[in-house]
Structure 1
Amino acid sequence: MRIRRTFTPEFKLEAASLVLDQGYSILQACRALDVGQTALKRWVDQLQFERTGQSPTMPALTAEQREIQQLKARIHQLEQEKMILKKATALLMSDEFKHMR
């Protein structure tokens, strides 16, 4: 049974940078880093995508895109909390209105 290795976003970024910025071929970088071609090709594609300013659906490689993902998650959380507060306020107001009659 083969053990599945996991790699940090920093490692993936460095690996993809070898291909995109330092002129390594995918095969050369795979051999140098002992990673599979499919994984490295995916990281290279993702880094190219992120460099266009687009946020990936998977965990980001670049620090900027990771920050954007964190901020989007925080916005989503705050929007959920705001909706809960609106509903709670409406419920409280309707109860108070009923007792005023």
Structure 2
Amino acid sequence: MLTMARSRRDFTPECKDEAVKLVITTGRAVATVARELGVNEATLGRWVSAFMARNETGQTEVTESKRAELLRLRKENADLKMDRAFLKKASIFFAQEASDTSVLRSN
């Protein structure tokens, strides 16, 4: 007897979040939404349960897009800190130079 093995599908965190939002925001049954999306009912039920548990504890999963944005913002913040430090040193240098030239003019 030949049987065909079903391949396991992987879902992105964003896809899971959207499916969970459909269940929560519309108030429809997990079984109904699962059927519409072509996802196993038990799988969607686990996603919803995990979402509810995360929200009860205040933990939220960081998506790849948010992680990428966080890395970009951290790099930008580091660059701005370097720019600020440079400008601070430059302003001190020019302030000292201006005071030195004003002393020379008064003599």
Larger Rg: 2
In the TM superposition, residue 53 of structure 1 has moved relative to its aligned partner by 3.4
- Aligned pair partner of 2:17 in 8, 13, 19: 13
Counterpart of 1:38?
Answer: 42
Alpha-carbon separation, structure 2, partners of 1:49 and 1:35:
21
Q: What TM-score do the two structures reach when normalised by structure 1?
A: 0.52
Q: Which runs of structure 1 show a deviation greater than 4 angstroms over 4 or more consecutive aligned residues?
A: none
Counterpart of 1:4?
Answer: 8
- Would you say how many aligned residue pairs link Structure 1 and Structure 2? 62
Identity %: 33
1:27-64 CA distance string (max 9 Å, x none): 110111000011100000011111123448xxx3x65x
Q: What TM-score do the two structures reach when normalised by structure 2?
A: 0.50
Q: Which runs of 5+ in 1 are unaligned?
A: 68-101
1:39-98 CA distance string (max 9 Å, x none): 100000011111123448xxx3x65xx86xxxxxxxxxxxxxxxxxxxxxxxxxxxxxxx
Alignment of 1:42-81 (within 5 A): 42-55=46-59, 60=61, 63=63
- Aligned pair partner of 1:29 in 23, 27, 33: 33
